[in-house]
Chains A and B, each alone.
Chain A
Amino acid sequence: EVQLVQSGAAVKKPGESLRISCQGSGYMFSSHWIIWVRQVPGKGLEWMGWIDPGDSYTLYSPSFEGHVTISVDRSIATAYLQWTTLKASDTAIYYCARRQDLGENWFDPWGQGTLVTVSS
């Protein structure tokens, strides 16, 4: 079974750093891009960026570039989303998802989501 399993919920203070993870299984991890998506509670889905696990190429949405870093560790089939300086406005659920294939830019499956709460 192809699946993505994300790390658990996190509670942080403004200014702190955080890294959340997304581990793939049941498929060749290096062959499918991973996307990160933000969902503020009660709101819609926002594309944040991609990573190609094969060569670590990343592409960020202009709305998120410079504020987050996406990375990967192929040896453990895991992608990461990282903040160095969290803000209260980063409070959201973050999902990772797998791109189907080259030229097939739809996302399936999705991870279960990681709730990040940033509050003083």
Chain B
Amino acid sequence: DIQMTQSPSSLSASVGDRVTITCRASQSISSYLNWYQQKPGKAPELLIFGASALQSGVPSRFSGSGSGTDFTLTISGLQPEDFATYYCQQSYNAPMSSFGQGTKLQIK
């Protein structure tokens, strides 16, 4: 099994801040890494696929990078609607899959 570990598990930030969330895979997964945003009481939504490709309709303040085992999701200029939980998901050994444990982004 490929284990996905996100850090931090939670963080506090202010509107306008730049934040970075990290996702580490237990083995190399090339660029087979996707990011989702989940707001309270809502279903997850796709943000980034293939480690760095922005899903249609997602604001450009979101960006993703990385390959191999280490990946980052960066939000540049936090907006009030960005406070949510973020999950990474590996699709390297598809159709098997696995998610990170999530990172909760809270307002400071």
Chain A residues within CB distance 8 Å of chain B? 33, 35, 37, 44-47, 50, 59, 61, 95, 97, 100, 104-113
Q: A107 — which chain B residues lie within 8 A by C-beta?
A: 34, 36, 44, 46, 89
Give the distance in Å from the alpha carbon of A33 to the alpha carbon of B99 in the complex.
18
**Across the interface, do A108 and B43 meet the contact criterion of CB distance under 8 Å?**
no
Interface majority SS (helix, strand, loop, mixed), chain A = strand
Give the distance to chain B from A53, nearest Cβ to Cβ, in Å.
14
**Across the interface, do B49 and A44 meet the contact criterion of CB distance under 8 Å?**
no
Given A44-B100, A44-B102, A106 contacting B44 (CB threshold 8 A): no
**Across the interface, do A105 and B94 meet the contact criterion of CB distance under 8 Å?**
yes
Interface majority SS (helix, strand, loop, mixed), chain B = loop
Q: Is B83 an interface residue when CB atoms closer than 8 A count as contact?
A: no
CB contacts under 8 Å to A, within B21-63, are: 32, 34, 36, 38, 43-46, 49-50, 55
Q: Is B74 an interface residue when CB atoms closer than 8 A count as contact?
A: no
Given A44-B100, A44-B102, A110 contacting B95 (CB threshold 8 A): no
Give the contacting residue for A45; candidates B45, B96, B102; CB below 8 A: B102
**Across the interface, do A47 and B98 meet the contact criterion of CB distance under 8 Å?**
yes
Give the distance to chain B from A117, nearest Cβ to Cβ, in Å.
16
Given A44-B102, A45-B87, A45-B102, A105 contacting B97 (CB threshold 8 A): yes
Give the distance to chain A from B45, nearest Cβ to Cβ, in Å.
7
Give the distance in Å from the alpha carbon of A50 to the alpha carbon of B102 in the complex.
22
Give the distance in Å from the alpha carbon of A111 to the alpha carbon of B36 in the complex.
14
Q: Is B67 an interface residue when CB atoms closer than 8 A count as contact?
A: no
Give the distance in Å from the alpha carbon of A105 to the alpha carbon of B96 in the complex.
10
**Across the interface, do A113 and B97 meet the contact criterion of CB distance under 8 Å?**
no
Give the distance in Å from the alpha carbon of A105 to the alpha carbon of B46 in the complex.
12
Give the contacting residue for B95; candidates A33, A44, A45; CB below 8 A: A33
**Across the interface, do B43 and A47 meet the contact criterion of CB distance under 8 Å?**
no
Give the contacting residue for B49; candidates A33, A100, A112; CB below 8 A: A100
